[in-house]
Amino acid sequence: MLVLGLETSCDETGVALFDSERGLLADALYSQVDIHVEYGGVVPELASRDHVRKTLPMVEEVLRSAGVAGADLDGVAYTAGPGLVGALMVGATLARALAWGWGVPALGVHHMEGHLLAPMLEDERPEFPFVALLVSGGHTQLVRVDGIGRYRLLGESLDDAAGEAFDKTAKLLGLPYPGGPHIARLAAEGDPARFDFPRPMVGKPGLDFSFSGLKTYALNTVEDCRAAGGPSEKDCRDIARAFEDAVVDTLVIKCRRALRQEGLKTLVIAGGVSANRNLRASLTEALARERARVFYPAPRFCTDNGAMIAFAGAQRLAAGQRDDADTAVRPRWPMEELPPLEGAA
C-alpha cells in the first residue's frame, strides 16, 4: 500500500511517502523554529499560515523525489489530532482535497500513535507487547501497547510535560526556543556534582509524572545564583546538567517500574525528548542490567514528521479504515479511544 502522509499538528510541516512493501520512499520536513523563536514559543496563527504556504509545495517535492504520481497512491493520511486546531485543519483540508481529486481514501491519524509507531520505521522493530514512553513538548505518557490500537495508559504528567519543563527552564537560563537542545548542549559541559535537583514523584507509588516543581526548583537555583552576582556561564551549565539529570533519572525510574509492573522486557521511547542522548544512554544502561531492551526511532523521526503519519496511516488504511464525510480534527484526543487493529505491522 502506497500512502502519502501529512503532519501539520504544531510547528513542523512534514510530508512523506511510505510503501508497505518498499518502506519509506521519500520524506521532507520543514521546521518553523525561526518564525517562533522571537516569541519564545509557538504562535498558533503564524503556525497555521506557514503550513498553508509550505505543505502543498512539499507534497509536490516528495512525489517528484520518489517518481510517483498522485494517481499511483492508495491513500492519504494526515494528522487529525491532538494539536493546534488551525494547524490541524490545514493538513486535514489539503489531505482530503488531494484524496478526493486522486480518487483514493483519506484517513486522519492520531499524532501520538504516529510517534509510538515511529520505531517501526527502523530495520530492527520491537515486537508486541511493549511499554512505550511518549515524551515530547506536550506529552509525557507511559503506555502499555499490545498491538496497534490496543493501548492502556499507565501513567502521565499531572502538569508540565517533560518537553515543556525543558523549554521553561531554558527560558530561565536565557536560552532561545526550543529549549531542549540548548539545555542538552549546556548540560554536556556542566558539573554533575554541584547541584542536586529532586526527582519528582519517584518516592510515591504509581507511574504518573510531575515536572512543574522541578521547574520551580530550577527557578530558585537561578535566583540564588543571581543573588551571588550570577548566574555566570558556569552556573548555567551546572544548572542545565542538574536539571537534565533529574528529568532523565525520573523517566528511567518510572520506565523500569512500568516494565516490572507489566512483566515486560521491551521499552519503546518516542517523541522529541527521546532524541536526548543522555536519556537514551541512561535507559539503555539501566535496562541492560535487567535484560530488557529499548527501541527508539532515528533522531530525524523523533520530532514531528510525515513518515510516522504515513506509516501509521498505511496500517489502518490497509485494514479498510477511512474518513467519514463528517470526520473532524480533534485538538484533544485520548489515544485509548482508537479502535484496535489486529494483525497489522
Provide the annotated binding site. 111, 115, 134-138, 167, 180, 276, 304
Segments in 105-232 forming alpha helices (H): 111-117, 162-172, 179-187, 212-227
Tell me which residue has cell 543571581.
Answer: 226
The 3-state DSSP class for residue 340 equals coil
Region of 190 (left: φ > 0; alpha: ψ -120 to 50; beta: rest) is beta
Binding site for Fe cation: residue ranges? Answer: 111, 115, 304
What is the CB-side half-sphere exposure of residue 328 using CA atoms within 13 A? 7
- Cα separation values, 340 from 35, 87, 276, 327, Å: 38, 27, 31, 19
Cα gap 41→45, rounded to integer Å: 12
How, if at all, do strands 2-7 and 106-110 pair? Answer: unpaired
Q: Are 250 and 199 within 8 A, CB to CB?
A: yes
Closest among 191, 198, 179, 273 to 233, alpha carbons compared? 191
Q: Are 163 and 256 within 8 A, CB to CB?
A: no
Planar angle of CA 220, 273, 109, nearest 5 degrees: 130
Closest among 42, 47, 77 to 59, alpha carbons compared? 77
Cα gap 243→268, rounded to integer Å: 23
182, with CB counted inside 10 A (0-12, 13-18, 19+), is: buried
Binding site for substrate: residue ranges? Answer: 134-138, 167, 180, 276
